[in-house]
Structure 1
Amino acid sequence: MSYQKGSKKAWAGRIDPLGTPDTFYWHQVIELGDIDTIPASTISKQIVLLGYESDEGVKRNLGRVGAVEGPSAMRAALSKFALHHDHLAYPIHDVGNVITDQDHLESSQLQLANSIARLIGKGYHPVVMGGGHEISYGHFTGIRQAFGSEAKIGIVNFDAHFDLRAYPNGPHSGSPFRQILDESKGQGCSFHYLPVGINPAGNQKALFDVHRQAGQNYILQSELVGDLTTQKELIDTFTSEVDHVYITLDLDVMPASAAPGVSAPAAFGVTPEVIRELFLHVLDSEKVVSFDIAELSPKYDDGRTSKLAASFIYELVMKYTAS
């Protein structure tokens, strides 16, 4: 594993000739730094961007590789977004990437965990750009380090898959929540997990059994059409029972027509508009402490998926900086 601090090379785009703040784009105002030297946050819900460059979990899970380029693609898309928040009052920091070298997945997950714990400890709200969904084990571990084993940390996973698969030969992109479940049992910690958008065709019956035995609820892909009152009530019940919420978005929860550049493209899926509505609803809980996006594979993308991923980061920032 290795670490690379934030770089201006990752942020580029057009510059309006007027050059006034009301013509700025994100690439013009991003604050670059590194985890060691970034100062403690002085405001509530201050966003910090961190990349997780990893394909090893997808490779081990026999998926199509390419997610290692996800952070770069998300930064490129964000660069061109028009600025609509007060960047002086709410600066956005980019502290670079945690990188999985060769097949050293476990050590990069540990480094990601330590990075997340340090950023939360400094008062930041991390937004992590993946990378395969193995991102979630390291990310959650860091949140638990930051808040302590007694804290009830709820995971809301927008995903077509449970990612509760066994890992006899080592962790992979399909095992992060099984790892968290197993460690929670072993350490006597509570486990709170709500997957949203589950597609039965992509999950073995055994995975439904694992989830059921853990005493957890889920929302099926087929239930995310029409009126969403019942689903929102289930989310509200879930968030009310935990101290903090961690959101993870696997882009394959949406159909390939909207998100073609993912590790496991879906014929059917939940529309981006519905995912956006529920994502914002979870944020309304005021308990979200961290967020990540997984499985963007730019080599299979035409720009749609990277823009979609970046748009969720944009929505989060706009939500937190609204006056």
Structure 2
Amino acid sequence: MEIDQLNYKCTPQENWQGRTDGIDFTQQRWHQRIQCIDLQQNEIPSVASGAIAFALIGFSSDEGVRRNGGRTGAVNGPAAFRKASANLPVHFNEQTAIYDLGDICCTDGNLEKAQHELAKLVTSALHKGLTPLLIGGGHEIAYGHYCGINDAINPEKSIGIINFDAHFDLREKGSAGFSSGTGFLQIANDCMQSGKTFNYLPVGIQKNGNTQALFLTAEKLGVAHIPAALFASKGQEEVLAKIKVFIDSVDHVYLTICMDVFSAAFSPGVSAPAFTGIYPDHFFFSCLELIMTSGKLISMDIAELNPVYDEADRTAKLTAAIAFQLLSAN
């Protein structure tokens, strides 16, 4: 694929370093398995039918967060993720491949260009048979990511977006332009223009983090959200049931996780911390398992990792733990 050199940064293989317990597969850690691909020099590897391979892609941007009035710093999220996940033990199949395709970067504040380049890379990775895992960066990652998925699939197939997030991100375009808070309204508008159904399930919504206008926008768009309050023990069966019904209603699932969905005690390093967010406990990972084992998950991202505010690297380590779960399900 052609990639704009101004928006691309490869990951040097030496950036993946960590503890080495041995070279036997059962002793290995992620840094021993991940293969870095410089897209300025090499093509994305093709994956044989039936093989499992992941494309790790960073989105080095917090321009959308800046435009949205949030705390900047997530531009360095991909680097913090790589450092936090390098020592993860390998628990995926020995034939599973993980390719680090580098970062798409937002330069000169041109978010729209960066999102376009991200979409192209996602489309190319999917066409090669890889499952993308994107790491942000602000939640402006979602619009570019979705566009890439949409360009890659059969137009007759539907995409269902499951967004673990404290916020709807259904804001109107502001004076500063599109932002980290507008992505899903942009997708809704694109769906309307193309005659597609907007399939969107926000999970973990906080009433104290969204205006009445955003709730009304969600209602107008036919968006049925799952509030964070349902994650208490009495609502957990309802949460799983709602997620399952949503998955059953679509052909493909795009999973996006904003790290501000979690309580700030577990995830302080985000642009907009949620002090009453959900817990990254057994039940949350049960929700992930339901999505991962559905057979419909086509692509995924984790957004809003902001190392500037990440006390004791708690958010980076939680992001790594979520990625571990996503990639070890096979």
Tell me the TM-score normalised to structure 1 length: 0.95
Letter in 1 for 2:45: P
User: Which stretch shifts more, 139-148 or 268-277?
Assistant: 268-277
Contact 2:92 2:329 in 1 (8 A): no
Contact 2:74 2:136 in 1 (8 A): yes
Task: Report the Cα distance in structure 2 between the residues aligned to 1:234 and 1:56, rounded to whole angstroms.
Answer: 33
- Segments of structure 2 that go 5 or more residues without pairing to the other structure are 1-5
Cα distance, 1:154 vs. partner? 0.2
Conserved 8 A contact 1:61-1:172: yes
Task: Summarize deviations over 1:228-284 as a string: whole Å, max 9, x none.
Answer: 211111111111111100000000000110011111111111110132221111112
| 3-state SS in 1 of match to 2:17 | coil
Q: Which SS does the other structure have where 1:195 is aligned?
A: strand
CA RMSD between the two structures: 1.4
Tell whether the 8 Å contact from 1:5 to 1:96 is kept in structure 2 after alignment. Answer: yes
Partner Cα distance (2:38, 2:245) in 1: 37
Q: Which is further off, 302-311 or 135-144?
A: 302-311
Give CA-to-partner distance per residue, 1:87-122, whole Å, 9 cap, x none: 4x1111111010101201000000001110110011
Query: Which position in structure 1 is the counterpart of 2:107?
Result: 101
Of 173, 178, 181, 1:174 maps to: 181
| Equivalent in the alignment of 2:3 | none
Which digits, 9 at most, give the CA deviation of each residue in 1:157-198, with x for residues without a partner?
000000000014321000100100111111211110000000
Identity fraction in percent: 40
Name the structure 1 match of 2:206. Answer: 199
Find 1:314's aligned residue among 315, 318, 324: 324
What does 1:247-262 align with in structure 2 at a 5 Å threshold? 247-262=255-270
Please list, as runs of the form range in 1=range in 2, the aligned pairs for 1:1-323 lying within 5 A after superposition.
1-16=6-21, 18-35=22-39, 37-42=43-48, 43-87=50-94, 89-169=95-175, 170-227=177-234, 228-273=236-281, 274-301=283-310, 302-320=312-330
Q: Which amino acid aligns with 1:237?
A: V
State the distance in 2 between where 1:233 and 1:45 align. 28
- Larger displacement relative to structure 2 (181-190 or 217-226): 181-190
- 2:51, 2:96 within 8 Å by CA — same for their partners in 1? no
| 1:45 Cα deviation from its structure 2 partner | 4.1
Residue-pair matches, total:
318
Mapped contact 1:135–1:294 kept (Cα < 8 A): yes
CA contact (8 A) 2:200 2:223 kept: yes
